[in-house]
Amino acid sequence: MKHCDVCCFYTSISGCTYGEAESSAQANLAIVKRTLRPNQLLETVADKTQLAYIEKGWAFSFRLSNAGDRTIGGIYSEGELVGTANLFGIDYDYSVRALTNMSVCLIETDEVIALMRRSDAYFSYLQTEIRRLLWLLASRTFELSNCNAEERLCRSIIVACLKVFGVLKETSMKFPLTQEMLADQIGTSKVHVNRIFVSLKKAGVCVLRRGTLRILNSDALLERAALTEREFAAMIRVLCDKETGEPFFVE
């Protein structure tokens, strides 16, 4: 279980103590909890002045073209922060939609910035979060330019597993992304994604069926993703906040 480091109401392994604040510092951070249904837009419960911390569930960000076509920007799950662009006061004209039932904490951006200026802990958290997002952006740009569709798909599966479990292993997990969404994310067609999954199933690597992803052979998945040891070490360091002894940026 990932915990909300940006929220001062999280105090112990027992979890969230929201509503029990005693100090003025805690009282200054205005937090509103909301729940969303599958397919509900985050903007129906939040506005552009807020960050949304995902306590539970999955979501995706997207933009619509003038022709109405949807382009997926990112996939988000428990423990992730949505709306970090608001820290810079920039409207990138994107929306966030819940993939599953989702619980979020909404935090006013101005109050987070004020606390970040006063507290090293808040500054460190936001610095780590923004660095993670920059790494994901750089990785996606590299993959679209240098990896084939199967490698990109396998890397997306590995990222999802690391986000949820903090480790890559043979396991089953709820995976609400459709083949159409995966195709959009990795820049290929739904038909091609289906072919790749058929190939991965035959090879005993992984299976996606009815919203459940089963990883059958994690070593084979890494091989299909064409990840070097250094790339995988950097991925673990960024997504799981674990020191690996490897440099953050891979040459």
Domains along the chain with CATH numbers = 10-138 (2.60.120.10), 149-240 (2.60.120.10)
pLDDT tens per residue across span 78-96: 878 888 777 777 667 788 9
- How far is residue 83's CA from residue 54's CA, in Å, rounded to a whole number? 11
What confidence score (pLDDT) does residue 26 get?
46
pLDDT tens per residue across span 170-216: 989 888 888 888 898 888 899 999 999 999 999 999 999 888 999 99
User: Is 0.95 surpassed by the pTM of this model?
Assistant: no
Give me the percent of the chain exceeding a pLDDT of 90.
25
